[in-house]
Structure 1
Amino acid sequence: MARGRTSWAAARRSRPFPQNSAGTGMAADLGMAALSVRGRSRRPPPAAPSPAQVLKCRAWWSGPMLARCLRSVPTVKDRSMGSIATDEHAGAPSRAIGGRLRTWSPPAVAATAAVAGSILLTIVLVAIGFVITRSSLSPRIVGWDGSVERWIELHRTAALNRWTDVGSILGGTGTILVVAGTSIAVMVIRRLWYDAGLLGMALSIEFTTFLATTTVIDRPRPTIVPLDPIPVTSSFPSGHMGAAIATYVGLGIVLSSHLRRAAVRVAIWVVAPVVPIYVGLSRVYRGMHHPTDVMASVVLGVGALCFALLAVHAAAVAADRRRDRRVETPKLRERSEVRT
């Protein structure tokens, strides 16, 4: 065999290099490969393949692997979903409802969950009202309410009258409509549909539950001198307190989900619960509600928020399931066409 055509393997066997280190062996391999290539041909080495050629050559085996990896990466949510409507925030009930109603539209899923939550919350509030007004514990509860109200009436001052007037206004119908309406309008303009739906459904659940409960539990107002005009509705529960919780705490949930600074979120969660407490104490001070009315309204407001969150998360889960089905259906069709 000619010297120029001596193969690399034969040259490697005839003149072995010491294998004392990995670096020496690698240098020997590279050197013999260079000599072999130079001896075989005078032509320049072939050009490196382009990225398009590499992708084309490897697409037949890397396609399924790449698709599997992309499915495992969390997808970015739509801007319209907001930060509160994510899979990691959804609990087991929301995922169960959204998965079962995945063929429904998200508004229909949210409305169904909200109506069911309003019915359940009304049953709970009516049961609490019966315990307070028509059970064997009623005399003790009514007596305790009366003693607290008489003590408050004896310790009224002009300054407290002014401060409690502000607290009562914060939970009034006009203030709640302005605050909630403005917030929902801003969310709609920014296309934060799920955030707007949370606040709107919380107030809707609170209002319908309040009307149904106050109609069934016709509790009279306190006997002390009132500082505000007497509303048409009965005393149980406090609509001001429930609406304040649904509005201000609901806004706290929405704002904290969009803010990253811990100090700002802490400030929000300090202010958000304080406002409803301020409203409830003001309503008791001004003779509009019994103390137990305000306590039961905590269940009303918190329950309305919980069922609104459940409805929003269920709607988000249903939307994700529908989106996944739309993505998977063309893939199944393509596979069936390839097989045929």
Structure 2
Amino acid sequence: MYEDIKHSEVEVNGVRLHLAEQGEGPLVLLLHGFPESWYSWRHQFAPLAEAGYRVVAPDQRGFARSEQPERIDAYTVLHMLGDLTGLIKALGAEQAVVVGHDWGAPVAWSAAALRPDLVRGVVGLSVPPLPAGPSPLSAARESFGDGFYQIYFQEPGKADAELAADVKASLRRVMCGIQPDGEPRPWVVPEGGTLLDTVPEPERLPDWLTDADLDVMAADYSRHGERAFTGGLNWYRNIDRNNELMQAFTGLRIEVPALYVVGERDLVNAMVPAPVIAYLLSELTPKLHGHVRLPDTGHWTQQERPAEVTAALLDFLKHLEG
């Protein structure tokens, strides 16, 4: 399956990254989130390639088949931007359209704001552009308590060990269990509980996820053994550090064409309500092409609704081509 996708490795910014690629033409970079990989874009490769684009989805630093730097502070947003700029150059391109989901979205939004010379269009799935401000973790603790998942992830080794004990089961439980009834709510670990207590084994897989899909993702993550999820978790351990680093760019808007897509049942809506998202988009993306809200769709946007997401991407790319 997906035999037309080519796999390679490239070293950028001092880190070896795994790439999945298909097609020829203008470059489109697809950036995944947590706990995902290049494979989360499996449904988008062929349609975008057939439309005349060179589609490249890296495993971002620390994830799946890519290298994991040891230090926690090697996972800041500026490191991610270094990876992105180095990747565009390594691929022999001058510019790219950058599409990001979940954690990939802040990288995409930041790249569009700081390097509009390299990013000719930006798409964020799930996570909207967020300006720097007071400590995000302090605000989250005040709103959702100490059990909020981003705070729970801060202790090195804790969530790492829980998730790595059975990689495939962890992926299955997280992807099926953070919204078991489809309603947006913050992901909170009850006092005295563990992360996996909040995501029980599903009775059956949703129609957008197969056991074979989980096998592919689990095999990629398992390469890192007991550190299977540590790279991704280290992104969360830099949330406040990222906020401090980005203070220098307060007030900077995203001056390239933009698109935002979110599921109406995405848990992000419980953290950033729809009216706030609309306000942020109006303030930060003056060239917004569209704000798409997908009904009956949770957090795993491009996997849950591949046809709708692909159609939105193709419409945006057509808009960019004028």
TM-score, normalised with respect to structure 2: 0.21
Structure with more contact order per residue of length (Cα contacts < 8 Å, sep ≥ 6) = 1
Considering fraction of residues, name the structure with more strand.
Answer: 2
Considering fraction of residues, name the structure with more helix.
Answer: 1
